[in-house]
Amino acid sequence: MSNFKYKRETKKNLYEIRNYLRETTRQELGVYLENVLAYVQDPLVGLALDEAGVRPFQVEWEPGLADGPTSARLAVVDYNADTNLLVSPAKWDQKKLKYFGPEGEILDGDHRNLFQFHQVNVWTIVQSVLDLFEGLWALGRPVPWGVNGGRLIIVPHAGYGENAFYDRRSKALQFYYYGDPKSPKYTCLSHDIVAHETGHAILDGIRPYYFQFTSPETAAFHEFVADLTAILAALRNNYVRLAVGDKTDGDLSKDNIIACLAEEFGAHLKGQEQDKYTGNISGIARLRDANNRLMMTDIKDSDSPHRRSLVLTGAVYDLLKAVSREYKESNRKNLWSATVRLIRMALQPLDFCPPVDIRFIDYARAMLRNFELYEPQDSPRREAYTQFIRQIFSDRGICDSKELGMLRTPGSWDVYHPVDAIADSRTGAYYFLNDNRKALRIPWNQDLSVVDLYVTNKQGRAGSRLPREIVLEYIWSEQFRLDEDCFGPLKGQAAELLCGGTLVLDDRGNVLSWQHKPGLQVDKDLEEGKKRMAQLRDHIARQVQRGLVGLRGDREVEIPGKWTPPCNCRHKLRSFAS
């Protein structure tokens, strides 16, 4: 049924109850806008595979939609810093419930060269990714941005250059264009690139301290989540998923456009002639490939977050291949069931991850714990999947099965707090943490901060509602000095080791998960704390030696090249700034 048939008040009522409706009901009632078109891959893949070109997306109607496009959480501002030009926005027609070009053009494939089509394209993809993460199969809650304000700014044509990035300082996703200046390629048209950068923004919102200068693996985890976002967002699209299923017959070990990320951009960087690839997917280059066999030993000497991330991306893609094989063997050739399962298995564990300094093994433990908690005991595949999760991380050299099963539990609570009092406010949560420092191994002399507190509403297998989770994240920092010569210009400066934990409780106050990052002040954690400290000091020293860390303030350090060092130490302050 078309939502054109409803009065505005009826649409508002449907909007108010949308989160209580099943997906099939939402589609039947028409809570989505009609014919919102965008690239489901990128223009190059669209040339080679028609199903991967401009196709419809499901975007929910909102009462406050406006020109831009502008929605409750997003605002497109098409400003080009190179040319100092502000492009007119796509126009919202409240009666027709559609976006149009400046002269009333329909923003479809025939008008894909209009910048207003670009604006709708990038907004649509970002909106769909946000819906993915907030959905019941994933995090089951509103996702905050890591910036002040409720809206994230999207800049589709930020300037000329081989780049696209999420920038916390400008509160924006910025997309550039590249190639022949007379006929450039646009990163804002690549589904993979837009979804990838949106993944960075979402992870920054739910775990802001992952942007801190802690370890190569933490930076690589950001890239992993961004690439995973691109894969899952593509799988959610019916056209892409069905095309991949038909061409691979459910065997995702074969070359396919899901595993290949940012083909158009990758082909440009590798200097390939792009027009000759029409009809030939396997011949198209790619920026990264999730279908890989990289192990931790292959990247042990690499500080590149992108290369390091491929180990974890490959491991989760191995899981997708296994899940898709199961459904194929069950005579369910389409990938939809496999997609839903992977969303649950890969995204729900993010709530179990520590608030700081995440490593690949932390995510592996979170995934296994989440699966063991919520896969039904009578599931015929429970044991097989449990073993497979253990195996994929072991095969990649991330951790062995014994390490993966070493889950911490807090000590006995010194002071009981009702779970509702903990969940009601950050202050209530702080009282609970402070009263139970001994059980949670929090030093008494450290200033403790609650960085996030939220309640989830997730969905499990067969549409069942999972128990409510109360997720509590807290941190403290332990400071130290950089006294050795290996720290170069930073010698004598102060730095900090970020510590903390993520505690997940159920409605009755039972501990579902506890991920703990210790320091040096609790005897039980001393060995691990010393290891964390040594790793951080080595990481800082390597970055100094590579010229990637410098001083700011009244003692400026000369850094080779014309770029700003990505990490700086502010003189006479007590922390690093990323």
Range from 24-33, 409-418, 479-488 carrying the lowest mean pLDDT: 24-33
Q: What is the sign, positive or negative, of the torsion defined by CA atoms of 362, 363, 368, 370? A: positive
Reported confidence tier of residue 261, pLDDT bands at 50, 70, 90 = confident
* Cross-strand partners of 453: 472
| Whole-number Å distance between alpha carbons of 357 and 548 | 19
* Cross-strand partners of 60: 32
| Whole-number Å distance between alpha carbons of 201 and 144 | 9
pLDDT score recorded for residue 446? 95
CB 54 within 8 A of CB 108: yes
CB 499 within 8 A of CB 516: no
* Cross-strand partners of 186: 177
Contacts of 378 (CB under 8 A, 6+ apart): none
Residue whose entry in the numeric block shows the structure tokens 């714990």: 369
* Cross-strand partners of 514: 503
- Give the residue, 401 or 466, on which the prediction is more confident: 466
Q: What is the sign, positive or negative, of the torsion defined by CA atoms of 290, 292, 296, 302? A: negative
List the structure tokens of 141: 């809650």
Fold for 38-206, please state it.
Elastase; domain 1 (3.10.170)
Q: What is the mean pLDDT of the chain?
A: 88
Average pLDDT over residues 121-138: 96
Average pLDDT over residues 229-238: 94
| Whole-number Å distance between alpha carbons of 496 and 480 | 6
Reported confidence tier of residue 553, pLDDT bands at 50, 70, 90 = low
Residue 559 has pLDDT above 50, yes or no: no
| Whole-number Å distance between alpha carbons of 289 and 317 | 10
pLDDT (tens digit per residue) in 302-344: 889 999 999 999 999 999 999 998 877 766 667 888 999 999 9
Output the DSSP codes for 397-411.
TS--HHHHT------
The listed range with the strongest mean pLDDT (33-42, 267-276, 314-323, 555-564) is 314-323
pLDDT score recorded for residue 404? 85
pLDDT (tens digit per residue) in 474-490: 999 999 999 999 999 99
pLDDT score recorded for residue 402? 83
CB 57 within 8 A of CB 75: no
Nearest alpha carbon to residue 279 among 49, 43, 42? 49
DSSP H stretches of helix in 270-381: 305-329, 336-347, 360-374
Average pLDDT over residues 514-539: 95
Reported confidence tier of residue 557, pLDDT bands at 50, 70, 90 = very low
pLDDT score recorded for residue 439? 97
Question: Which element (helix H / strand E) includes 478?
Answer: strand 469-481
List the structure tokens of 565: 């060092």
pLDDT score recorded for residue 268? 81
Reported confidence tier of residue 76, pLDDT bands at 50, 70, 90 = very high
CB-based contacts of 422-425 (< 8 A; 24+ apart in sequence):
422/470, 422/472, 422/505, 422/509, 423/453, 423/455, 423/470, 425/453
Can you give the three-state secondary structure of 210-238, one letter per residue?
HHCCCCHHHHHHHHHHHHHHHHHHHHCCH
Residue 67 has pLDDT above 80, yes or no: yes
List the structure tokens of 315: 């491991």
CB 355 within 8 A of CB 500: yes
Average pLDDT over residues 25-49: 85
Share of the chain above pLDDT 70, in %: 91
End-to-end CA distance of the chain: 50
pLDDT score recorded for residue 474? 98
pLDDT (tens digit per residue) in 436-454: 999 999 999 999 999 999 9
The domain spans of the chain are: 1-31, 38-206, 212-258+292-407, 410-577
Q: What is the pTM of this model?
A: 0.92
Residue 272 has pLDDT above 90, yes or no: no
User: Exposed/middle/buried for 84, CB within 10 Å: 0-12, 13-18, 19+?
Assistant: exposed
DSSP H stretches of helix in 236-288: 238-248, 263-269
| Whole-number Å distance between alpha carbons of 500 and 493 | 23
Residue 245 has pLDDT above 50, yes or no: yes
Max Cα-Cα span within the chain: 73
